Amino acid sequence: GDSVTQMEGPVTLSEEAFLTINCTYTATGYPSLFWYVQYPGEGLQLLLKATKADDKGSNKGFEATYRKETTSFHLEKGSVQVSDSAVYFCALRTSNTGKLIFGQGTTLQVKP
């Protein structure tokens, strides 16, 4: 079945460091891909999305490119801030359904 795999955390970085959180997926058809962020004590918020191969989603300095050839959707940010500390979830939506499948989440800790 369809699935999403994320790199294990926690990921600990110093402020202004470069961030990469890996995400790979397995899916039939042509899924849409998402990154959600969960700040402490809150629900999830959509961070960015890409609906077809080679699309790049971007928001708040974060980027991710939909790579069909490597079935990946890695999240990147050039310079992280303490306020980026959160749990990040990669997710996919299978074609023509309302099902959303999440990865297990990656905790990011940014230290001043």
Partner 1 sequence: EAQVTQNPRYLITVTGKKLTVTCSQNMNHEYMSWYRQDPGLGLRQIYYSMNVEVTDKGDVPEGYKVSRKEKRNFPLILESPSPNQTSLYFCASGQTSYEQYFGPGTRLTVT
Q: Cα separation of 94 and 15, whole Å?
A: 36
- Binding flag, residue 100, partner 1 (CB under 8 A): yes
Q: What x-and-dash track marks residues 77-96 binding partner 1 by CB under 8 A?
A: ------------x-x-x---
Contact 15, 41 (CB under 8 A): no
- Binding flag, residue 74, partner 1 (CB under 8 A): no
The DSSP 8-state label assigned to residue 42 in this structure reads S
On the 0-12 / 13-18 / 19+ scale of CB atoms within 10 A, 111 is exposed
Q: How far is the CB of 14 from partner 1 (least distance, A)?
A: 26
- Binding flag, residue 58, partner 1 (CB under 8 A): no
Q: Which residues bind partner 1 (CB under 8 A)?
A: 4, 6, 32, 42-46, 49, 51, 89, 91, 93, 97-105
